[in-house]
Amino acid sequence: MAESARAGENVQSDPSDEVASCSVLVVDDNFQNLELLQAYLEELGYPVRTAHDGAEAIASVQAEQPDIILLDVMMPRMSGFQACQKLKASPATRDIPIIMVTALNEVGDVERAVEAGADDFLTKPVNRIELLTRVRSLLRVRLLKKQLDKAMSQMQAFKHGNG
């Protein structure tokens, strides 16, 4: 445990890194879990919004899209699986990376998360370094995809302008 804490001290936010300015939506019906995940992420400078169930998460995403979503599985009104499926079904939100966070660790639960469209899966209790590494990795992929899409659009515009 002390080794994990020491390793965590080496995880620093780089102000010049675009990833550090990305926004995060954390969704969990348990206040303590929300606070913990929020603290881990805010420590590195990520702006964090929270929601308490899947329905609230979808409303929050529709109001303002985050760059990544941490989504608990077992919640009232709408489960994380259902929320993930709805978000991934919409062209407007399907590219937002979603990490399912849950105490469930059965193979079937991981399969359900993947089938719902989750990009990654973490089990509780969440390891701080594992969480931050996965968030940063998925945010880098998202930013690279945005850059690629922009470059492709510019190439198409150039091609049509000189065609």
Look up residue 36 and give its two tokens: 């913990």
Q: Tell me which amino acid residue 40 is.
A: Y
Radius of gyration of the chain (CA): 17
Residue 60 or 12, more confident: 60
Query: What SS3 state is found at 61?
Result: helix
Please report the pLDDT score of residue 163 as a whole number: 57
What pTM did the predictor assign?
A: 0.83
Question: What distance in Å separates the CA atoms of residue 38 and residue 36, rounded to the nearest whole number?
Answer: 5
Domain 19-161 carries which CATH code? Answer: 3.40.50.2300
Highest mean pLDDT among 4-8, 14-18, 65-69, 101-105 belongs to: 65-69
In the predicted structure, residue 7 carries a pLDDT above the cut 60: no
What residues have CB less than 8 Å from 66, skipping those under 6 apart?
22, 23, 24, 25, 49, 60, 96
User: pLDDT (tens digit, 9 = 90+) per residue, 15-51?
Assistant: 336 766 799 999 999 999 999 999 999 998 899 999 9
Give the model's pLDDT for residue 159. 83
The letter for the amino acid at 109 is D
Contacts (Cβ under 8 Å, ≥6 apart) of 62: none
Domain spans of the chain? 19-161
